[in-house]
Amino acid sequence: MVKRIAVFASGTGTNFSALQSAIVERKIPAEIVLLVCDQAAAPVIKRAEAVGVPVLVINYKDFATKAAAETVILTSLYAHQVAAILLAGYMRIVGKTLLTAYPHRIINLHPALLPKFPGRQGIADAFAAGVSETGVTVHFIDAGIDTGQVIRQQRVSVESDDTLASLTERIHQIEHELYPDVLAELIATKKI
């Protein structure tokens, strides 16, 4: 049975494309049936449109509360029969409305080894701290910021000649491999 997936993203969409490519090339039994984006000009929208994935652009400023915005998102998720949500550079904290509707079925990709360096700037924070290694974490989300149960992590050494840009590039390469691997594993083990 093919799992119907929604991807939530706010930016360029490289992880969206990596997931989409892996699903097609590796025959992962999943289909991205919806992109939810909170930035009307985000490049990820063009990536989704190019592969025929419907897009819901949600401007949170148009709603009185986060719950009201998430109710609109939820309506679209249900209409597309979404089984699980993958956050891929989604720069918003998911609220109670979605957490309640999709318990243990919302997954996030974070560019650091949680619990170290949570939040928006995981790579920059790790680099500034001068650590010898950082990495990538895939985890279920909860009501906290990057506090949910870890599914898998992959370590990345910080080399002495690394710049923030070179470390960022290596982290993204790992993300593009790790996220599809975890998706395939979660589906195979019926965890989503």
80 is catalytic: no
| CB distance 74 to 61 below 8 Å | no
Contacts of residue 120, defined as CB under 8 A and 6 or more positions apart, other chains included, come to 91
Given the structure tokens 């975890």, which residue do they identify?
182
In one letter, which amino acid is 171?
Answer: I
Contacts of residue 185, defined as CB under 8 A and 6 or more positions apart, other chains included, come to 152, 191
Torsion angle, alpha carbons of 117, 47, 54, 42, to 10: 60
| CB distance 35 to 4 below 8 Å | no
Catalytic residue among 80, 104, 110, 139: 110
| CB distance 105 to 76 below 8 Å | no
- Give how far Cα 129 sits from Cα of 112, 122, 162, 165, 170, Å: 12, 11, 13, 15, 18
**Residue among 130, 132, 140, 121 nearest 191 (CA):** 140
Q: Which are the catalytic amino acids?
A: 110
